[in-house]
Structure 1
Amino acid sequence: MTVQQRLDERYGRSPNEDRRTRRILIIGGIIFTLVFGSWVVWGGLSGTNATLEVRELGFAEVTETSITVAWEVSVDPGTDVSCAVQALNENFGIVGWRVLDLGASDQRTRTFTETLRTSEQAVTGLPYGCWLP
């Protein structure tokens, strides 16, 4: 009897266990591949592929209590969009905030400006983000 055979006998290992382990790993890999592939196909073909892009254009008219923010939204014509606009102080704390509902339009790209009231002087203003309602 070889050393390997004695060790296998001592610890209860057999060639059948290796085949069973290999079979379980192969089946698990196949199941994972099927689930992952289904998820990718479902996510890619879900239907709603509206593109939404937001670009900050800058800010102006900074006073002690307000700031005017300009931004651009690009979305498919006829799509409603909501955007949050914020004003930040020198420590990057939010000192002004507003959520705006932008109605649908026949233009893909539109430019907006909004004046925000602030709790203290802002040093910058920008769109926080936009989303499809």
Structure 2
Amino acid sequence: MSSPAAATGEQLPEPATSLANRYGRPKRRLTKRAKLILSSILVLALILGALFLSTRNTKTFEPKDVAFSLVSDRQTDVTVAVSMKAGEKVTCGLQVLSEDFGVVGYKEVLFDGSSPELKPSGGRVTVQHKVPIRTVFAGVSGGSDACWNS
């Protein structure tokens, strides 16, 4: 018996051996429009992330080391001023350092911006304290180490 295709003189198609038939069709690439949309979303996400991170840790106060004076080998006076919003309270850790930058004295001090005798300028006040700090050795410098809202 012969097939009807063989009777008419046509040959049967041979199985295709191309890679597309063996492994499937290749994936389509993204269009220019899709690439533009995806890159725009990525840029917008990066900008929003940068804005979020830059505004997240903004401080409303600014400490400034004014002076220090060596009273004795066991005491140093440190003067620090903190500029802050009126009514705000800030605690600062004040330290005295030795020649090799080791901490030889430390004290935490509260700077209260809600005192009635302070006169705000532009909604901000500056509170200054001269703080005696006991030390274990003679210090060569002193100032604020870190400050935080109370």
Shared fold per TM-score greater than 0.5: yes
Give the distance between the partners of 1:57 and 1:45, measured in 2 at CA. 28
Offset, 1:66 = 1.1
Give the distance between the partners of 2:54 and 2:139, measured in 1 at CA. 41
Query: Which of 11, 21, 30 is equivalent to 1:20?
Result: 30
Larger displacement relative to structure 2 (78-87 or 54-63) = 54-63
- What is the CA RMSD across the aligned residues, in angstroms? 3.3
Query: Which of 99, 115, 119 is equivalent to 2:132?
Result: 115
**TM-score normalised by length of structure 2:** 0.63
Q: In terms of Rg, which structure is larger?
A: 2
> Structure 1: which 5+ runs fail to align?
1-14
Q: Percent identity?
A: 27
Aligned twin of 1:36: 46
- Helix, strand or coil at the partner of 1:71: strand
Shift in CA distance, 64/49, structure 1 to aligned 2, threshold 3 Å: closer
> Structure 2: which 5+ runs fail to align?
1-25, 120-124
Aligned length: 120
**TM-score normalised by length of structure 1:** 0.70
Could you say which structure has the higher helix fraction? 1
1:70 aligns with 2:79: yes
Aligned twin of 2:92: 83
Offset, 1:81 = 0.5
Counterpart residue type for residue 42 of structure 2: F
